[in-house]
Amino acid sequence: MLDPTALATPHVGPVISATPVNGFVGNQTFRLETRAAVYYLKIGATVAEEADGCRRARSVGVPAPEVVASSAQGLITRELPGRPLAADSPNLGAVLRATGECMRRVHTIVDPSVSWADRLLGVLDGLDVLPDRLAARVSEVMPKFIESVAGVTPALLHGDLHLRHLHATGAELTGILDWGDTTYGDPLFDLARLSMAGPAATTAFLTGYGPIDAPPRTLSMYRALWSLIALQAEHAAGGDWFQPHLDTIARELS
């Protein structure tokens, strides 16, 4: 097992404490306290993608974490101010509007060489995590949906945009965190993930993001696909957070 203190010290100086932080079961994350500042060290399979996502988001003025060091061994970022957003946060609307503005800028970063359809079709190769009846339903409806969105220009996605990944101080958005699921695809995929926070949150986000063109059922299909991806990752990491994802898939495909 890697020693977080030994791994981080060459990049941030002497570490006073390295405290494990709860998160996705497939990663190890530590809060590193030094005399000068606080940092986070993440060890996992997607740290290279996360580092790239943070750098690209910051390049368009989005408050993603600052990458201090990145290698195959881990990712070190500087702590951002603020606290995680919650459904009952008093300035929820203002922070989500600012998030919408930021994500509009993120979605201007595109990579036409990526095949969004191939990415989604690959997800359908892992239906063994579903009960047989639900797997049959996914197999029935998803290929046609994927074909319908195959022509989008792939944009940089956060991939797991929800309230806990947004930090704020009062009404100010201070950080969009956890870019470990970043990929290139349909911007509506990010909106679908955010929409799981409810209609009020979605409306506030869109006030900042601007108009969208979402054909009927598009967000439902993306919510189901996001939940399937999350379920597959949970299984692969040896976790047990299964039922909420199964419930979402069944509900969105009903």
pLDDT confidence of residue 231: 97
> In this prediction, what percent of the chain has a pLDDT beyond 90?
94
Mention every residue, 6+ apart, whose C-beta is less than 8 A from residue 2. 43, 73, 74
**Residue 37 φ/ψ, nearest 5 degrees:** -165, 180
Tell me the pLDDT of the chain averaged across its residues: 96
Cβ-in-10-Å burial (0-12, 13-18, 19+) of 56 comes to middle
In angstroms, how far is CA 64 from the centroid of its own chain?
Answer: 12
Select from 158, 153, 143 the least CA-distant residue to 189. 158
Question: Which tens digit of pLDDT belongs to each residue from 218-248?
Answer: 999 999 999 999 999 999 999 999 999 999 9
pLDDT confidence of residue 154: 98
Locate 117 and state its tokens.
């359809």
pLDDT confidence of residue 167: 98
pLDDT confidence of residue 192: 98
Q: What is the pTM of this model?
A: 0.96
Up-side HSE of residue 168: CA atoms within 13 Å toward CB?
Answer: 21
pLDDT confidence of residue 1: 62
pLDDT of 180 > 70? The answer is: yes
> Does residue 186 sit in helix, strand or coil?
coil
